[in-house]
Amino acid sequence: MIYLDNAATTKTAPEVVEAMLPYFTENYGNPSTIYSLGSTAKKAVNQARRTIAEAIGAKQEEIYFTAGGSEADNWALKATAEAYSQKGKHIITTKIEHHALLHTCEYLEKHGFEVTYLDVDGDGLVDLEVLKAAIRPDTILISIMYANNEIGTIEPIAEIGAIAKEKGILFHTDAVQAFGQIPLNVDELNVDMLSASAHKLNGPKGIGMLYIRTGVKIRSFVHGGSQERSRRAGTENVPGIVGFGAAVERAVRTMDEKIKKETELRDYLIGRIEKEIPYSRLNGHRTRRLPGNVNFAFQFIEGESMLIMLDMKGICGSSGSACTSGSLDPSHVLLAIGLKHEIAHGSLRLTLSEENTREEMDFVVEELKKIVTKLREMSPLYEDFMAKQGKGQ
Ligand SMILES: *Cc1c(COP(=O)(O)O)cnc(C)c1O
Protein backbone atom coordinates (compact mmCIF):
# COMPACT_ATOMS: atom_id res chain seq x y z
CA MET A 1 0.00 0.00 0.00
CA ILE A 2 1.15 3.55 -0.76
CA TYR A 3 -0.51 5.96 1.65
CA LEU A 4 -0.83 9.46 0.17
CA ASP A 5 -3.64 10.88 2.25
CA ASN A 6 -1.78 12.42 5.16
CA ALA A 7 -3.97 15.53 5.12
CA ALA A 8 -6.93 13.30 6.07
CA THR A 9 -5.02 11.61 8.86
CA THR A 10 -1.56 10.26 9.63
CA LYS A 11 -0.24 7.02 11.02
CA THR A 12 0.19 7.15 14.78
CA ALA A 13 3.97 6.98 15.31
CA PRO A 14 5.14 3.86 17.22
CA GLU A 15 6.89 6.00 19.85
CA VAL A 16 3.60 7.85 20.40
CA VAL A 17 1.69 4.60 20.96
CA GLU A 18 4.49 3.50 23.29
CA ALA A 19 4.17 6.68 25.34
CA MET A 20 0.38 6.29 25.59
CA LEU A 21 0.19 2.64 26.64
CA PRO A 22 0.99 3.01 30.38
CA TYR A 23 -1.87 5.52 30.70
CA PHE A 24 -4.35 2.84 29.66
CA THR A 25 -2.87 0.26 32.00
CA GLU A 26 -0.99 0.93 35.23
CA ASN A 27 -1.36 4.76 35.24
CA TYR A 28 -5.14 4.83 34.89
CA GLY A 29 -5.77 7.38 37.65
CA ASN A 30 -8.07 10.38 37.34
CA PRO A 31 -5.91 13.54 37.25
CA SER A 32 -8.34 15.35 39.57
CA THR A 33 -7.71 12.98 42.50
CA ILE A 34 -5.12 13.59 45.20
CA TYR A 35 -3.50 10.15 45.68
CA SER A 36 -0.35 9.42 43.75
CA LEU A 37 -2.07 7.35 41.03
CA GLY A 38 -3.99 10.50 40.13
CA SER A 39 -1.04 12.84 40.40
CA THR A 40 0.99 10.63 38.06
CA ALA A 41 -1.70 11.19 35.43
CA LYS A 42 -1.88 14.89 36.24
CA LYS A 43 1.88 15.27 35.85
CA ALA A 44 1.76 13.57 32.46
CA VAL A 45 -1.04 15.88 31.30
CA ASN A 46 0.89 18.95 32.40
CA GLN A 47 4.10 17.69 30.81
CA ALA A 48 2.25 17.37 27.48
CA ARG A 49 0.77 20.84 27.96
CA ARG A 50 4.27 22.27 28.48
CA THR A 51 5.66 20.53 25.39
CA ILE A 52 2.82 21.83 23.23
CA ALA A 53 3.01 25.37 24.67
CA GLU A 54 6.75 25.50 24.04
CA ALA A 55 6.31 24.33 20.45
CA ILE A 56 4.24 27.45 19.61
CA GLY A 57 5.85 29.94 22.01
CA ALA A 58 2.83 30.03 24.34
CA LYS A 59 2.45 29.78 28.11
CA GLN A 60 1.24 26.42 29.37
CA GLU A 61 -1.89 27.91 30.93
CA GLU A 62 -2.90 29.15 27.47
CA ILE A 63 -3.31 25.58 26.11
CA TYR A 64 -6.76 23.98 26.45
CA PHE A 65 -7.21 20.37 25.41
CA THR A 66 -10.24 19.51 23.27
CA ALA A 67 -11.53 16.43 21.48
CA GLY A 68 -9.87 17.51 18.21
CA GLY A 69 -9.61 20.27 15.65
CA SER A 70 -13.33 20.55 14.96
CA GLU A 71 -14.13 21.15 18.61
CA ALA A 72 -11.36 23.76 18.90
CA ASP A 73 -12.74 25.63 15.85
CA ASN A 74 -16.30 25.48 17.22
CA TRP A 75 -15.17 26.73 20.59
CA ALA A 76 -13.02 29.58 19.25
CA LEU A 77 -15.88 30.94 17.18
CA LYS A 78 -18.98 30.33 19.28
CA ALA A 79 -17.48 31.34 22.60
CA THR A 80 -15.82 34.54 21.40
CA ALA A 81 -18.92 35.51 19.42
CA GLU A 82 -20.93 35.21 22.61
CA ALA A 83 -18.37 36.94 24.84
CA TYR A 84 -17.85 39.91 22.50
CA SER A 85 -21.39 40.32 21.13
CA GLN A 86 -21.80 43.59 23.07
CA LYS A 87 -18.99 45.06 21.01
CA GLY A 88 -20.32 43.86 17.66
CA LYS A 89 -21.70 40.95 15.68
CA HIS A 90 -19.51 40.87 12.59
CA ILE A 91 -17.02 38.08 11.82
CA ILE A 92 -14.59 37.80 8.91
CA THR A 93 -13.40 34.48 7.49
CA THR A 94 -12.64 33.04 4.04
CA LYS A 95 -14.41 30.87 1.49
CA ILE A 96 -11.77 28.15 1.77
CA GLU A 97 -11.96 27.25 5.46
CA HIS A 98 -12.56 23.71 6.73
CA HIS A 99 -16.21 22.77 7.26
CA ALA A 100 -15.64 22.79 11.04
CA LEU A 101 -15.30 26.53 10.66
CA LEU A 102 -17.69 27.27 7.81
CA HIS A 103 -20.57 25.33 9.32
CA THR A 104 -19.99 27.03 12.67
CA CYS A 105 -20.20 30.38 10.88
CA GLU A 106 -23.49 29.32 9.29
CA TYR A 107 -24.77 28.43 12.74
CA LEU A 108 -23.76 31.86 14.07
CA GLU A 109 -25.49 33.55 11.13
CA LYS A 110 -28.70 31.89 12.25
CA HIS A 111 -28.12 33.40 15.69
CA GLY A 112 -27.81 37.04 14.74
CA PHE A 113 -24.17 37.30 13.64
CA GLU A 114 -23.05 38.55 10.27
CA VAL A 115 -20.20 36.78 8.49
CA THR A 116 -18.07 38.04 5.59
CA TYR A 117 -16.53 35.19 3.58
CA LEU A 118 -13.47 36.61 1.83
CA ASP A 119 -12.63 35.57 -1.72
CA VAL A 120 -9.17 34.19 -2.40
CA ASP A 121 -7.05 34.49 -5.55
CA GLY A 122 -6.37 31.72 -8.07
CA ASP A 123 -3.68 30.24 -5.81
CA GLY A 124 -5.92 30.33 -2.74
CA LEU A 125 -4.30 33.37 -1.09
CA VAL A 126 -6.20 35.99 0.89
CA ASP A 127 -5.60 39.54 -0.36
CA LEU A 128 -4.66 41.81 2.57
CA GLU A 129 -6.30 44.85 0.96
CA VAL A 130 -9.55 42.91 0.55
CA LEU A 131 -9.32 41.93 4.21
CA LYS A 132 -8.73 45.53 5.33
CA ALA A 133 -11.71 46.71 3.28
CA ALA A 134 -13.96 44.12 4.95
CA ILE A 135 -13.18 45.32 8.49
CA ARG A 136 -16.02 47.31 10.11
CA PRO A 137 -16.41 49.04 13.49
CA ASP A 138 -18.52 46.08 14.65
CA THR A 139 -16.02 43.38 13.53
CA ILE A 140 -15.16 41.28 16.58
CA LEU A 141 -13.26 38.36 15.09
CA ILE A 142 -11.12 37.41 12.09
CA SER A 143 -10.66 33.67 11.53
CA ILE A 144 -8.36 32.59 8.71
CA MET A 145 -6.75 29.18 8.36
CA TYR A 146 -2.99 28.83 8.48
CA ALA A 147 -2.72 26.36 5.61
CA ASN A 148 -5.44 24.87 3.45
CA ASN A 149 -6.17 21.17 3.84
CA GLU A 150 -7.02 20.62 0.17
CA ILE A 151 -4.61 22.73 -1.88
CA GLY A 152 -1.87 23.25 0.73
CA THR A 153 -1.66 27.04 0.29
CA ILE A 154 -0.09 28.83 3.28
CA GLU A 155 -1.79 32.13 4.13
CA PRO A 156 0.07 35.33 5.15
CA ILE A 157 -0.84 34.79 8.81
CA ALA A 158 1.73 37.17 10.37
CA GLU A 159 0.54 40.01 8.13
CA ILE A 160 -3.11 39.25 8.89
CA GLY A 161 -2.27 39.11 12.61
CA ALA A 162 -0.62 42.53 12.41
CA ILE A 163 -3.72 44.02 10.78
CA ALA A 164 -6.01 42.46 13.39
CA LYS A 165 -3.82 43.71 16.23
CA GLU A 166 -3.67 47.24 14.86
CA LYS A 167 -7.47 47.33 14.59
CA GLY A 168 -7.98 45.70 18.00
CA ILE A 169 -9.84 42.70 16.54
CA LEU A 170 -9.41 39.14 17.82
CA PHE A 171 -7.63 36.80 15.44
CA HIS A 172 -8.12 33.02 15.33
CA THR A 173 -6.31 30.65 12.99
CA ASP A 174 -7.16 27.03 12.24
CA ALA A 175 -3.59 25.67 12.17
CA VAL A 176 -4.61 22.01 12.05
CA GLN A 177 -2.70 21.40 8.80
CA ALA A 178 0.30 23.52 9.75
CA PHE A 179 1.01 22.60 13.36
CA GLY A 180 3.85 20.10 13.56
CA GLN A 181 4.56 20.46 9.82
CA ILE A 182 6.08 23.95 9.68
CA PRO A 183 7.42 26.20 12.47
CA LEU A 184 4.91 28.60 14.01
CA ASN A 185 4.98 31.01 16.93
CA VAL A 186 1.88 32.71 18.34
CA ASP A 187 3.66 35.96 19.22
CA GLU A 188 5.37 36.39 15.86
CA LEU A 189 2.04 35.69 14.18
CA ASN A 190 -0.02 37.90 16.52
CA VAL A 191 -2.69 35.25 16.88
CA ASP A 192 -5.08 35.26 19.84
CA MET A 193 -6.43 31.75 19.29
CA LEU A 194 -5.09 28.75 17.39
CA SER A 195 -6.61 25.31 16.75
CA ALA A 196 -4.60 22.11 16.35
CA SER A 197 -5.28 18.38 16.18
CA ALA A 198 -3.00 15.48 17.13
CA HIS A 199 -3.97 13.03 14.39
CA LYS A 200 -2.63 15.30 11.65
CA LEU A 201 0.89 15.05 13.12
CA ASN A 202 1.27 11.33 13.84
CA GLY A 203 -0.65 11.53 17.11
CA PRO A 204 -3.89 9.82 18.11
CA LYS A 205 -7.36 10.76 16.85
CA GLY A 206 -9.90 12.55 19.04
CA ILE A 207 -7.51 14.89 20.82
CA GLY A 208 -6.65 18.47 19.93
CA MET A 209 -6.20 21.84 21.53
CA LEU A 210 -7.19 25.46 21.41
CA TYR A 211 -4.55 28.04 22.31
CA ILE A 212 -6.22 31.04 23.94
CA ARG A 213 -4.03 34.07 24.62
CA THR A 214 -4.17 35.37 28.20
CA GLY A 215 -6.68 38.19 28.42
CA VAL A 216 -9.01 36.94 25.68
CA LYS A 217 -12.54 36.72 27.06
CA ILE A 218 -13.96 33.39 26.10
CA ARG A 219 -16.89 31.43 27.47
CA SER A 220 -16.56 27.88 28.78
CA PHE A 221 -17.27 25.30 26.12
CA VAL A 222 -18.27 22.37 28.33
CA HIS A 223 -19.78 23.10 31.73
CA GLY A 224 -19.08 20.75 34.63
CA GLY A 225 -15.96 20.11 36.67
CA SER A 226 -12.97 22.40 36.94
CA GLN A 227 -10.80 20.68 34.32
CA GLU A 228 -8.98 22.92 31.83
CA ARG A 229 -9.30 25.88 34.19
CA SER A 230 -13.10 25.36 34.29
CA ARG A 231 -13.44 26.18 30.61
CA ARG A 232 -13.71 22.68 29.19
CA ALA A 233 -15.06 20.26 31.78
CA GLY A 234 -14.78 16.49 31.67
CA THR A 235 -12.20 13.99 32.86
CA GLU A 236 -9.13 14.46 30.69
CA ASN A 237 -8.36 12.06 27.85
CA VAL A 238 -5.06 11.23 29.56
CA PRO A 239 -3.68 8.70 27.02
CA GLY A 240 -4.71 11.01 24.17
CA ILE A 241 -3.07 14.04 25.76
CA VAL A 242 0.12 12.08 26.48
CA GLY A 243 0.11 10.88 22.86
CA PHE A 244 -0.43 14.44 21.60
CA GLY A 245 2.54 15.62 23.68
CA ALA A 246 4.74 12.80 22.38
CA ALA A 247 3.68 13.54 18.79
CA VAL A 248 4.55 17.23 19.17
CA GLU A 249 7.88 16.36 20.76
CA ARG A 250 8.62 14.10 17.79
CA ALA A 251 7.38 16.65 15.24
CA VAL A 252 9.63 19.39 16.64
CA ARG A 253 12.62 17.04 16.68
CA THR A 254 12.15 15.77 13.10
CA MET A 255 10.66 18.88 11.46
CA ASP A 256 13.64 20.19 9.49
CA GLU A 257 14.43 16.83 7.98
CA LYS A 258 10.78 16.07 7.27
CA ILE A 259 10.25 19.40 5.51
CA LYS A 260 13.32 18.86 3.36
CA LYS A 261 12.38 15.32 2.38
CA GLU A 262 8.71 16.01 1.69
CA THR A 263 9.40 19.19 -0.28
CA GLU A 264 11.83 17.33 -2.55
CA LEU A 265 9.38 14.47 -3.13
CA ARG A 266 6.49 16.89 -3.62
CA ASP A 267 8.31 18.91 -6.27
CA TYR A 268 9.51 15.75 -7.99
CA LEU A 269 5.94 14.41 -8.19
CA ILE A 270 4.55 17.78 -9.35
CA GLY A 271 7.27 18.06 -12.01
CA ARG A 272 6.66 14.60 -13.43
CA ILE A 273 2.86 14.98 -13.54
CA GLU A 274 3.10 18.37 -15.24
CA LYS A 275 5.55 17.06 -17.81
CA GLU A 276 3.97 13.68 -18.50
CA ILE A 277 0.21 14.13 -18.16
CA PRO A 278 -1.33 16.63 -20.61
CA TYR A 279 -4.28 18.86 -19.66
CA SER A 280 -3.35 18.82 -16.00
CA ARG A 281 -3.09 21.85 -13.73
CA LEU A 282 -1.53 22.26 -10.30
CA ASN A 283 -4.05 23.56 -7.74
CA GLY A 284 -2.75 25.84 -4.99
CA HIS A 285 0.31 28.06 -4.70
CA ARG A 286 3.52 26.60 -6.10
CA THR A 287 5.87 27.69 -3.31
CA ARG A 288 3.73 29.00 -0.43
CA ARG A 289 2.60 25.44 -0.01
CA LEU A 290 2.64 22.73 2.66
CA PRO A 291 5.69 20.47 2.17
CA GLY A 292 3.63 17.32 1.57
CA ASN A 293 0.74 18.65 -0.55
CA VAL A 294 0.17 17.81 -4.22
CA ASN A 295 -3.18 18.67 -5.81
CA PHE A 296 -3.93 18.43 -9.53
CA ALA A 297 -6.94 18.99 -11.71
CA PHE A 298 -7.08 16.62 -14.68
CA GLN A 299 -9.42 17.78 -17.42
CA PHE A 300 -12.11 15.42 -18.79
CA ILE A 301 -11.95 13.12 -15.77
CA GLU A 302 -14.11 12.23 -12.81
CA GLY A 303 -12.12 12.26 -9.56
CA GLU A 304 -14.02 9.43 -7.88
CA SER A 305 -13.25 6.97 -10.71
CA MET A 306 -9.61 7.98 -10.50
CA LEU A 307 -9.57 7.22 -6.75
CA ILE A 308 -11.15 3.80 -7.22
CA MET A 309 -8.65 2.86 -9.91
CA LEU A 310 -5.74 4.11 -7.78
CA ASP A 311 -7.08 2.09 -4.86
CA MET A 312 -6.98 -1.05 -7.00
CA LYS A 313 -3.24 -0.40 -7.34
CA GLY A 314 -2.89 0.08 -3.57
CA ILE A 315 -2.63 3.86 -3.72
CA CYS A 316 -4.65 5.95 -1.22
CA GLY A 317 -5.47 9.49 -2.31
CA SER A 318 -8.35 11.91 -2.05
CA SER A 319 -10.50 13.75 -4.57
CA GLY A 320 -11.18 16.70 -2.30
CA SER A 321 -11.29 16.64 1.45
CA ALA A 322 -12.20 13.41 3.18
CA CYS A 323 -15.21 15.15 4.71
CA THR A 324 -16.78 15.89 1.33
CA SER A 325 -16.04 12.63 -0.43
CA GLY A 326 -19.21 10.64 -0.77
CA SER A 327 -21.09 13.78 -1.79
CA LEU A 328 -21.25 14.84 -5.42
CA ASP A 329 -20.75 18.55 -4.77
CA PRO A 330 -17.38 19.73 -5.99
CA SER A 331 -15.04 21.03 -3.32
CA HIS A 332 -15.85 24.58 -2.13
CA VAL A 333 -12.09 25.27 -2.05
CA LEU A 334 -11.56 24.39 -5.71
CA LEU A 335 -14.58 26.47 -6.73
CA ALA A 336 -13.25 29.39 -4.65
CA ILE A 337 -9.94 29.38 -6.57
CA GLY A 338 -11.93 29.68 -9.79
CA LEU A 339 -12.16 26.13 -11.11
CA LYS A 340 -15.20 25.24 -13.17
CA HIS A 341 -17.43 22.50 -11.70
CA GLU A 342 -16.37 19.84 -14.19
CA ILE A 343 -12.67 20.58 -13.68
CA ALA A 344 -12.99 20.65 -9.88
CA HIS A 345 -14.57 17.19 -10.17
CA GLY A 346 -11.43 15.87 -11.85
CA SER A 347 -9.11 16.86 -9.04
CA LEU A 348 -6.82 14.60 -7.09
CA ARG A 349 -5.07 15.35 -3.79
CA LEU A 350 -1.99 13.37 -2.81
CA THR A 351 -0.48 14.27 0.57
CA LEU A 352 2.91 12.81 1.45
CA SER A 353 4.71 11.83 4.62
CA GLU A 354 8.42 11.49 5.34
CA GLU A 355 8.03 7.74 4.93
CA ASN A 356 7.28 7.95 1.21
CA THR A 357 10.01 7.26 -1.33
CA ARG A 358 10.96 8.34 -4.83
CA GLU A 359 10.25 4.79 -6.08
CA GLU A 360 6.68 5.15 -4.79
CA MET A 361 6.34 8.48 -6.62
CA ASP A 362 7.55 6.81 -9.83
CA PHE A 363 5.01 4.02 -9.44
CA VAL A 364 2.23 6.54 -8.77
CA VAL A 365 3.07 8.57 -11.89
CA GLU A 366 3.17 5.46 -14.09
CA GLU A 367 -0.19 4.23 -12.78
CA LEU A 368 -1.72 7.69 -12.94
CA LYS A 369 -0.71 8.04 -16.59
CA LYS A 370 -2.45 4.77 -17.45
CA ILE A 371 -5.56 5.66 -15.43
CA VAL A 372 -5.91 9.14 -16.90
CA THR A 373 -5.52 7.78 -20.43
CA LYS A 374 -8.08 5.05 -19.83
CA LEU A 375 -10.65 7.41 -18.27
CA ARG A 376 -10.20 9.96 -21.04
CA GLU A 377 -10.77 7.27 -23.67
CA MET A 378 -14.18 6.72 -22.07
CA SER A 379 -15.01 10.43 -21.79
CA PRO A 380 -17.38 11.98 -24.38
CA LEU A 381 -16.07 15.43 -23.37
CA TYR A 382 -12.54 14.41 -24.26
CA GLU A 383 -13.71 12.94 -27.58
CA ASP A 384 -15.46 16.24 -28.46
CA PHE A 385 -12.43 18.22 -27.41
CA MET A 386 -10.07 16.12 -29.53
CA ALA A 387 -12.40 16.31 -32.54
CA LYS A 388 -12.41 20.12 -32.26
CA GLN A 389 -8.63 20.19 -31.86
CA GLY A 390 -8.37 18.09 -35.04
CA LYS A 391 -10.56 20.50 -37.00
CA GLY A 392 -8.55 23.48 -35.79
CA GLN A 393 -5.31 22.14 -37.19
C1 LIG B 1 -8.63 17.81 9.92
C2 LIG B 1 -8.93 19.25 10.02
C3 LIG B 1 -9.83 19.75 10.98
C4 LIG B 1 -10.61 18.84 11.90
O5 LIG B 1 -9.80 18.26 12.86
P6 LIG B 1 -10.38 16.94 13.64
O7 LIG B 1 -9.37 16.70 14.71
O8 LIG B 1 -10.44 15.86 12.63
O9 LIG B 1 -11.70 17.33 14.19
C10 LIG B 1 -10.04 21.10 11.03
N11 LIG B 1 -9.39 21.95 10.20
C12 LIG B 1 -8.52 21.52 9.28
C13 LIG B 1 -7.82 22.50 8.41
C14 LIG B 1 -8.27 20.16 9.14
O15 LIG B 1 -7.42 19.74 8.21
Amino acid at site 245:
G
Pick the closest to residue 366 from 317, 313, 319 (CA basis).
313
Flag residues of the chain having pLDDT under 50: 321-324
pTM of the model: 0.96
Q: Note the pLDDT of residue 62.
A: 98
Q: Note the pLDDT of residue 389.
A: 87
Please state whether beta strands 280-282 and 293-298 pair in parallel, antiparallel, or not at all (unpaired): antiparallel
Q: Note the pLDDT of residue 331.
A: 93
Instruction: Indicate which residue's Cα is closest to atom 6 of ligand 1.
Output: 69
The one-character DSSP state at 354 is T
Ligand 1 pocket by C-beta < 6 Å: which residues? Answer: 68-70, 73, 98, 100, 145, 149, 174, 176-177, 197, 199-200, 208
Describe the crossing of helices 36-56 and 238-276 by its angle, rounded to 10 degrees.
30
Query: Is residue 165 within 8 Å of residue 194, measured between CB atoms?
Result: no
Q: Note the pLDDT of residue 323.
A: 47
Catalytic residues, by residue number, are 323
Instruction: Indicate which residue's Cα is closest to atom 12 of ligand 1.
Output: 176
Question: 262 CA distance to ligand 1 centroid (A)?
Answer: 21
Q: Quick one: which atom of ligand 1 is closest to the CA of 197?
A: 7
Q: Note the pLDDT of residue 231.
A: 93
Question: 288 CA distance to ligand 1 centroid (A)?
Answer: 20
How far apart are the C-alpha atoms of 246 and 243, rounded to whole Å?
A: 5
Question: Each residue of 211-226: pLDDT tens digit?
Answer: 999 999 988 999 999 9
How far apart are the C-alpha atoms of 355 and 368, rounded to whole Å?
A: 20
How far apart are the C-alpha atoms of 346 and 329, rounded to whole Å?
A: 12
Mutating to test ligand 1, I would choose from 101, 195, 197 the residue with most ligand atoms within 8 A of its C-beta, which is: 197
Give CA angle at 287 (286, 291), nearest 5°.
100
Q: Note the pLDDT of residue 322.
A: 46
Q: Quick one: which atom of ligand 1 is closest to the CA of 321?
A: 15
Q: How many CB atoms lie within 10 A of CB 235?
A: 12
Buried-state track 131-140, b at ≥16 Cβ within 10 A, e below 16: beeebeeebb
